[in-house]
Amino acid sequence: MSFKVEGKVALVTGANRGIGRSIAETLLAQGVKKVYLAVRKPAAIQDLVNDFPDRVIPLTVDLSEVDTIRALPAQAPDINLLINNAGVLIPTHILDANAATAIAQEFQVNTLGLLHISQAFATTLIKNQPSALVQINSVASLRAFSPVATYSASKAAAYSVTQALRDELNAQGVQVLSVHPGPIATDMAAQGGVEEMAEPASVVAHGIINALATGEFHLFPDTMAQQFETAYQGFASNIIAADFSIE
């Protein structure tokens, strides 16, 4: 299964900055017909709307507000490509007093946001084939990092949801890609204290284009992520990609 972005219609969440912004710009450069940019504050992407008035459509969404997610398919009924990038990181150690509050907020956006937007657009993606769903997970999906322990938990859960989506949607002809960046030069990297080792967001955006074209399920786009890939690939091939049925 492979997917070429040229001529397709995409929707990207969290496209106002960082990885999401780079994805939007790369899709436009790669020839998408149209891209919906779903953000909490559309004013933040007005420059892209001005530069590409016929190709960039701003939409309002808050992944912590289910009603705003459920309203999206009626506004973007023609998409072939859904890229769920929006996320939240609250730097928290697992024994911090606010850990329960932080993990609830991060699960609401990072995990349940993925679940709700995938459910909302599943029928659209199945109908508008060829189509693909891309989820921006993290190396923290695979290994908890103490300063961002609650974020790591939410991304581990999101990765599990992504695997289940792959099983469900692949069977109906929709490609699914799980992206696992390491430190990327974004505001979130600064929050996590890893900005010194961060790589540009463009490595993620271009990696997505290539991984969709080759039909991969996992993408480890940057140097740290590729170190994870080397250690993880045996498990990924023999367990994650294996056909286990419990029905």
Q: 50-72: buried (b, 16+ CB within 10 Å) or exposed (e) per residue?
A: eebeebbbbbebbbbbbebbeeb
Residue 70 lies in a domain: yes
Q: Percent of the chain beyond pLDDT 90? A: 91
Of the two residues 232 and 194, the one the predictor is more confident about is 232
Tell me, what's the pLDDT at 196? 66
Please tell me which residue, 199 or 208, carries the higher pLDDT value.
208
Which secondary structure element, helix H or strand E, spans residue 53, and what is its range?
none
Residues in the chain: 247
246 domain-assigned: no
Domain hosting 30: range is: 9-240
In a domain, 142, yes or no: yes
Average pLDDT over residues 192-213: 87
Average pLDDT over residues 155-176: 98
The answer to whether residue 105 is domain-embedded is yes
From CA 191, how far away is CA 206, in angstroms rounded? 24
If pLDDT is split at 50, 70 and 90, which confidence band does 185 have?
A: confident
Q: Contact 22/83 with Cβ under 8 angstroms?
A: no
Count of structural domains within the chain: 1
Residue 241 pLDDT level (bands cut at 50, 70, 90) = confident
Residue 3 falls inside a structural domain: no
Q: What sign has the CA pseudo-torsion 106, 16, 76, 211?
A: negative
pTM beyond 0.75, yes or no: yes
Say which CATH number the domain at 226 has: 3.40.50.720
Cβ neighbours, 10 Å, residue 231 = 11
In a domain, 138, yes or no: yes
- Nearest-CA neighbor of 137 among 240, 68, 51, 41? 240
**Residue 182 burial (CB count, 10 A):** 23
Give CA–CA dist 198/222, Å, rounded. 9
The single-letter DSSP state of residue 142 is T
Cα 218 to chain centroid distance, Å, stands at: 12
pLDDT at 104 over 80: yes
- Quick check: 94 and 116 in contact, CB under 8 A? no
Q: Is residue 1 part of a domain?
A: no
Dist. CA 73–CA 106, nearest whole Å = 24
Segment 122-143, tens digit of pLDDT: 999 999 999 999 999 999 999 9
- Write the pLDDT tens digit of every residue in 29-75: 999 999 999 999 999 999 999 999 999 999 999 999 999 999 999 99
Are 185 and 177 within 8 A, CB to CB? no
Q: How far is CA 146 from CA 73, 197, 223, in A?
A: 37, 17, 21
Residue 2 lies in a domain: no
